[in-house]
Structure 1
Amino acid sequence: MATPQHKIGSGLGFHSTVHDVLRGVDLTGRLAVVTGGHSGLGLATTRALAGAGARVVVPARRPPAALEATEGIDGVEVDELDLADQRSVRSFAERFLASGRPIDLMIGNAGIMASPEFRVGPGWEGQFATNHLGHYALVNRLWPAIAEGGGRVVSVSSNGHQLSGIRWDDTRFERGYDKWLAYGQAKTANALFAVHLDALGAASGVRAFSAHPGTIATSLGRHMSADELTDLTAAIDAEWKTPEQGAATQVWAATSPLLDGLGGVYCEDCDVAEPAAPDAALAGGVSAWAADPEQAARLWRLSADLTGVDAFA
């Protein structure tokens, strides 16, 4: 079966930074929403977009920390949002929509990795609920503003998606929790979300992408011990990126004119990724289960049922 998952020759690569991506790009008058835009890759993304002239809204679980981190960056505003709390998602979306502004760029950057088991809402597994369901509901609730902006939505995934597809018979890990399989499922969900959002949103001029940032030393690994980080580094066997290099792919997916007319694809190293080998684990490329339109549509239906939100229903 033909797939759009093939490199397009962007001229950029592994070592490219957000500054390389945005060289000569003017985002004056554009508005971006960047979840987690005050830390790690998110902060590098916020700095880059604001530096190119964009107004950047940073929803954060701890607004005082976000205000401190983004102090001195022109064009940034902070609001409160806890992606693990659907009531918080609804409240933020209502406040934003009341401002009457369109959203040109939406980057779902916030996330957690390999956390101890926790439950939110009606017993949802925490990583799936935070990384996927929170962003799913957020984008759907903000859809009027996103559709008006007619821009792009970027869902930050990871090569961790190769650890697990969607566990359709046990998405909540009720039969035993594994933090890495839970992370893999959540990152697969991030990629599938972009696949189906693109299929639904293209008619409104909105295109969606998912992105793998690479391996970067950020607070995302805060739940891991030193030994676990060492083991992970050995398993990945890849060069680490700086935050500015790690943020480059999501900024490229959000802004590059080379992606005009494309959508629903998984990107890495500032290009569209190739299909991954069937046995890939924390390697390059996108696994078939994270790029399957049928699974993407099935996940969308499940997410709509769980959250009660579907802007396209």
Structure 2
Amino acid sequence: MYETQTLLHTRIDAAVTGAEVIRHVDLTGRVALVTGGSSGLGLESVRAFASSGAQVCVPAIDPVAARAALRGIKGVDVWPIDLSNLGSIKVFANAFLERRRSLDLLVLNAGVIAQPLSRDQHGRERHFSVNYLGHFHLTALLWPALLAAGKSRVVILSSRAHQLCEVDFDDLDFVRRPYDKWMAYAQSKTANALFAVALDQRGRGHGVRAFSAHPGMIVTPGIRHLTRAEFDAVGALAQDGTPVIDPANDKKTAEQGAATTVWCATAPALEATGGVYCENCDVASVEPEERFGVRPYAIDPERAERLWRISASRTGLDIGT
């Protein structure tokens, strides 16, 4: 079942940055799209792609702030989007397809983490809505552009947090079970890993490959709302409040955290594979209990297909195999 989820033994150092991964890659004439591309990991991915010659589109909920954050990076366009609003996603996708015939690299990076319970306009739990379902909807709408590229890649941000729980297919939106912000976040990241499995199954025959990626533990603006006790529980902050940087133990800078995303998007070593969960610029090993690696349930094809069917029903969109 997991024949493709096998270490490649790339021997790339855990401290490598996205800029270093892409140093010898030429993306001239290619088009990339990075959600959440105006801060943290997404911003560093945008820098890397743009530095190699790609034209980069950054859809953002606050285009004014995004343009300010991306100022000085050449070849970047910012467009409005709200990933929790299916109507907004459709407006963005239609506008993108009018301007761009093809899309070479799609990085689904945007997300929320460990937030109090809130719901989108359809009543769906926000982590699942933004981190997973909004990206499913966006990808389905952009599918013609991914196909038109001939060879394209989709990189979906998962997380080691997926190890906390499976997808609860009977209560995706925490209607019946007590809400837990970490379980909600973890479920969305497990969903993202499963998304890569099902998407790659549909795209591989058309030149579209999909990957999920764990970037590492990075203190980004998106988690600054956590309490000091929560940071201390995972050893994320030094005594003076600055982030602990220890790549060998998964604590990375945003530049280092972007490396696996960039690697998944561009590495020649992945030409013949897809649907895999990656970490530290390598395909992760399948680990039922260890702290590293990917849990079997997060790359299970049957679970991936079940989630896909639910997502297609919720969005009214599907992609054929």
TM-score calculated relative to the size of structure 2: 0.93
Contact conserved, 1:27 with 1:53, CA < 8 A, in 2? yes
Q: Does 1:288 align with 2:299?
A: no
Task: Output aligned runs, 1:145-224, within 5 Å.
Answer: 145-149=145-149, 150-174=151-175, 175-224=177-226
Deviation string, structure 1 residues 131-166 (Cα, Å, up to 9, x no partner): 000000000001000111131000010001111111
SS at match of 1:58: strand
SS at match of 1:301: helix
Contact conserved, 1:108 with 1:154, CA < 8 A, in 2? yes
2:54 counterpart letter in structure 1:
A
Distance in structure 2 (CA, Å) of the matches to 1:133 and 1:2: 25
Deviation string, structure 1 residues 236-276 (Cα, Å, up to 9, x no partner): 99351111110000100000011001000000000000012
Q: Does 1:299 align with 2:307?
A: yes
Distance in structure 2 (CA, Å) of the matches to 1:85 and 1:225: 29
Distance in structure 2 (CA, Å) of the matches to 1:13 and 1:124: 39
Contact conserved, 2:128 with 2:184, CA < 8 A, in 1? yes
SS at match of 1:142: helix
* CA-CA distance at 1:55 after TM superposition: 0.4
What does residue 59 of structure 1 align with?
59
1:153 counterpart letter in structure 2:
V
Distance in structure 1 (CA, Å) of the matches to 2:206 and 2:89: 23
Q: Does 1:265 align with 2:276?
A: yes
Distance in structure 2 (CA, Å) of the matches to 1:279 and 1:309: 35
SS at match of 1:41: helix
Quickly say closer, same or farther: Cα 1:239–1:279, change in 2 above 3 A. closer
Deviation string, structure 1 residues 61-84 (Cα, Å, up to 9, x no partner): 000010000011000000001111
Task: Output aligned runs, 1:89-108, within 5 Å.
Answer: 89-108=89-108
Task: Output aligned runs, 1:238-249, within 5 Å.
Answer: 238-249=249-260
* CA-CA distance at 1:2 after TM superposition: 4.5
Distance in structure 2 (CA, Å) of the matches to 1:117 and 1:232: 22
Distance in structure 1 (CA, Å) of the matches to 2:302 and 2:222: 30
Task: Output aligned runs, 1:130-149, within 5 Å.
Answer: 130-149=130-149
Distance in structure 1 (CA, Å) of the matches to 2:201 and 2:129: 23
Q: 2:265 aligns with which of 238, 248, 254?
A: 254
Gaps of 5+ in 1: none
Task: Output aligned runs, 1:4-83, within 5 Å.
Answer: 4-83=4-83
Distance in structure 1 (CA, Å) of the matches to 2:228 and 2:101: 44
Q: Does 1:3 align with 2:11?
A: no
2:157 counterpart letter in structure 1:
V
1:208 counterpart letter in structure 2:
A
Contact conserved, 1:194 with 1:209, CA < 8 A, in 2? yes
* CA-CA distance at 1:298 after TM superposition: 0.5
Distance in structure 2 (CA, Å) of the matches to 1:92 and 1:2: 36
Deviation string, structure 1 residues 2-33 (Cα, Å, up to 9, x no partner): 53212112231311111221121111000000
What does residue 233 of structure 1 align with?
235
Alignment RMSD: 1.7
Distance in structure 1 (CA, Å) of the matches to 2:73 and 2:190: 33
* CA-CA distance at 1:279 after TM superposition: 3.1
* CA-CA distance at 1:286 after TM superposition: 0.4
Contact conserved, 2:166 with 2:298, CA < 8 A, in 1? yes
Percent pairwise identity: 50
Q: Does 1:310 align with 2:311?
A: no
How many residues are paired up? 310
